[in-house]
Amino acid sequence: MPSTAAARAVPARCDLLMLGIETSCDDTAAAVVRGDGEILSQVVSSQADLLARYGGVAPKMAEEAHALVIDQVVQKALDDAKLSESDLSAVAVTIGPGLSLCLRVGVHKARQVAKAFGLPIVGVHHMEAHALVSRLVNKDLDFPFLALLISGGHNLLVLARGLGQYIQLGTTIDDAIGEAYDKSARWLGLDMRKGGGPALEELALEGDPNAVKFRVPMRQHKDCNFSYAGLKTQVRLAIESKNLCTEDVPISSASEEDRQSRANIAASFQRVAVLHLEERCHRAVEWALKMEPSIKYFVVSGGVASNKYVRTRLNQVAENNGLQLVSPPPSLCTDNGVMIAWTGIEHFVVGRFEDPPTDDEPDDMQTRIESSSSLSAGRAIASYPVLIRFSGRPGPANEDATQGPTKKQLQQ
Ligand code: KG4
Ligand code: ZN
């Protein structure tokens, strides 16, 4: 149901000015985007140093780091866009999935700005934003399309039928590919300050991708789900079997021979990790085309989609199946405020937004946050597509998952 605020005068789409705020994990990001897709500003403050020091995202510490910079990040996004809050049409903010302590920082800031300036709020689903930012990048990209969303916590294959309407073709049964890159990079003693994924991608360029024989996951499962936990274990065992002292000796101090061994493991891991993506995507294209023969585009987005090897190999999958690959530039693949602002615009123009907070709303009001959703890992794992709707509105999870076509129907 559109909000009652839909009744108020909404500016023409090209005049809309949307502030987007993202704090679901370890990046504090904000951006201002115009209704026609022009990016007026984009600011990201990363917690890479914290990540490198503590080996992962500690929710309490991440929350504090967000709280420390959120005001500056939003102010810089406004300053860079040469705007003030009163010029904005609305505020979009990530409401999940993610770490709830971190999400709250962004939601609190969004409500504060919205209340002070009487702005509507659009609650945005993080994974939908990863998918929809591709429509900012390529204006010809209409629904329906197939999307692979690959990040630190998610590995999703979805058939996007319309705004807020996704059929989940596959998800991970354990870890996401980004998690496997990050852990492998750490175990190989790489410099985590540039991020585990980018560090491993760089080292892999020096290695032989066929040097270590890793098993490709889930070949016996004729579905579109993923698994990366086993591959992670294979990497750890390979490091142990070569007696590499990766914990004590960072890559920068490794001998030439040791560095080559690590590069071979990195390259072999990357080849198999991405081959697993290729195989599942190939099947997903077949499934998707049976359900929606008009599909022309294959979207690949999320942090891991900024990897050049991933993009090259998945471009091949798209071409082999007569589809066009759309993959946003790396700065729009990793977490950013632009994707939140843009998804906010997509929902706002169809009347899906919430009225500005009222004056009597306390500043510390807690908004219900979706710390998980049926598009997140671990739920709705099926060997057939699952229909998912989510409204993108703040509040309790508002999803209705029903079964799509059965596997048998797909095989017919
Ligand atoms: O979408 P994202 O920025 O944040 C989440 O929603 O999780 O994705 C972050 C993930 C991390 O696991 C990171 O290591 C991975 O994306 N990543 C990469 C690359 N750049 C980022 N993985 C492989 N190669 C890259 N170049
Ligand atoms: Zn993300």
CB of 209 within 6 A of ligand 1: the answer is no
Q: Which ligand is nearest to the CA of 302?
A: 1
Residue 56's Cβ-count burial label (10 Å; 0-12, 13-18, 19+) is middle
What does the pLDDT read at residue 237? 96
Domains of the chain by residue range? 15-135+333-350, 145-294
Structure-block tokens of residue 205: 């360029």
- Fold match flag (15-135+333-350 vs 145-294): yes
Report the percentage of the chain scoring pLDDT > 90: 76
CB of 196 within 6 A of ligand 1: the answer is yes
Residue 394 in this model has a pLDDT that exceeds 50: no
Sign of CA dihedral 363, 57, 24, 333: positive
pLDDT band at 54 (very low <50, low <70, confident <90, very high): confident
> 159 CA distance to ligand 1 centroid (A)?
22
Average pLDDT of the segment spanning 38-65: 86
Burial 171-206 (b: 16+ CB within 10 A, else e): bbbbbbbbbbbbbbbbbbbbbbeebbbbbbbbbbee
CB of 152 within 6 A of ligand 1: the answer is yes
Nearest residue CA, atom 6 of ligand 1? 151
CB of 181 within 6 A of ligand 1: the answer is yes
Per CATH, the number for 145-294 is: 3.30.420.40
Q: At what angle are helices 308-320 and 256-291 packed, to 10 degrees?
A: 30
Q: Which ligand is nearest to the CA of 303?
A: 1
pLDDT band at 370 (very low <50, low <70, confident <90, very high): low
CB of 178 within 6 A of ligand 1: the answer is yes
pLDDT band at 368 (very low <50, low <70, confident <90, very high): low
> 324 CA distance to ligand 1 centroid (A)?
23
CB of 300 within 6 A of ligand 1: the answer is no
CB of 307 within 6 A of ligand 1: the answer is yes
pLDDT band at 4 (very low <50, low <70, confident <90, very high): very low
What does the pLDDT read at residue 246? 80
Integer Cα distance of 111 and 27 in angstroms? 19
Residue 6 in this model has a pLDDT that exceeds 70: no
Q: Which ligand is nearest to the CA of 180?
A: 1
Nearest residue CA, atom 2 of ligand 1? 303
Q: Which ligand is nearest to the CA of 177?
A: 1
What does the pLDDT read at residue 285? 98
> 257 CA distance to ligand 2 centroid (A)?
36
CB of 182 within 6 A of ligand 1: the answer is yes
Integer Cα distance of 360 and 363 in angstroms? 9
Average pLDDT of the segment spanning 110-121: 97
CB of 266 within 6 A of ligand 1: the answer is no
Which of 42, 47, 181 to mutate for ligand 1's pocket (most ligand atoms within 8 Å of CB)?
181
pLDDT band at 401 (very low <50, low <70, confident <90, very high): very low
CB of 151 within 6 A of ligand 1: the answer is yes
Q: Considering the chain, what is the average pLDDT of its residues?
A: 88
In this predicted model, what pLDDT tens digit does every residue of 201-229 receive, in sequence order? 999 999 999 999 999 999 999 999 999 99
Integer Cα distance of 161 and 166 in angstroms? 6
pLDDT band at 369 (very low <50, low <70, confident <90, very high): low
Contacts of 257 (CB under 8 A, 6+ apart): none
Is residue 143 within 8 Å of residue 162, measured between CB atoms? yes
Longest dimension (CA), the chain: 68
Nearest residue CA, atom 7 of ligand 1? 152
> How many beta carbons lie within 10 A of that of residue 321, not counting itself?
17
Per CATH, the number for 15-135+333-350 is: 3.30.420.40
Helix (H, G, I), strand (E, B) or coil at 382: coil
pLDDT band at 375 (very low <50, low <70, confident <90, very high): very low
Q: Which ligand is nearest to the CA of 270?
A: 1
CB of 302 within 6 A of ligand 1: the answer is yes
> 126 CA distance to ligand 2 centroid (A)?
6
Residue 389 in this model has a pLDDT that exceeds 60: no
Helix (H, G, I), strand (E, B) or coil at 353: coil
Residue 390 in this model has a pLDDT that exceeds 50: no
> 337 CA distance to ligand 1 centroid (A)?
15
pTM over the 0.75 mark:
yes
In this predicted model, what pLDDT tens digit does every residue of 264-313 receive, in sequence order? 999 999 999 999 999 999 999 999 999 999 999 999 999 999 999 999 99
CB of 370 within 6 A of ligand 1: the answer is no
CB of 26 within 6 A of ligand 1: the answer is no
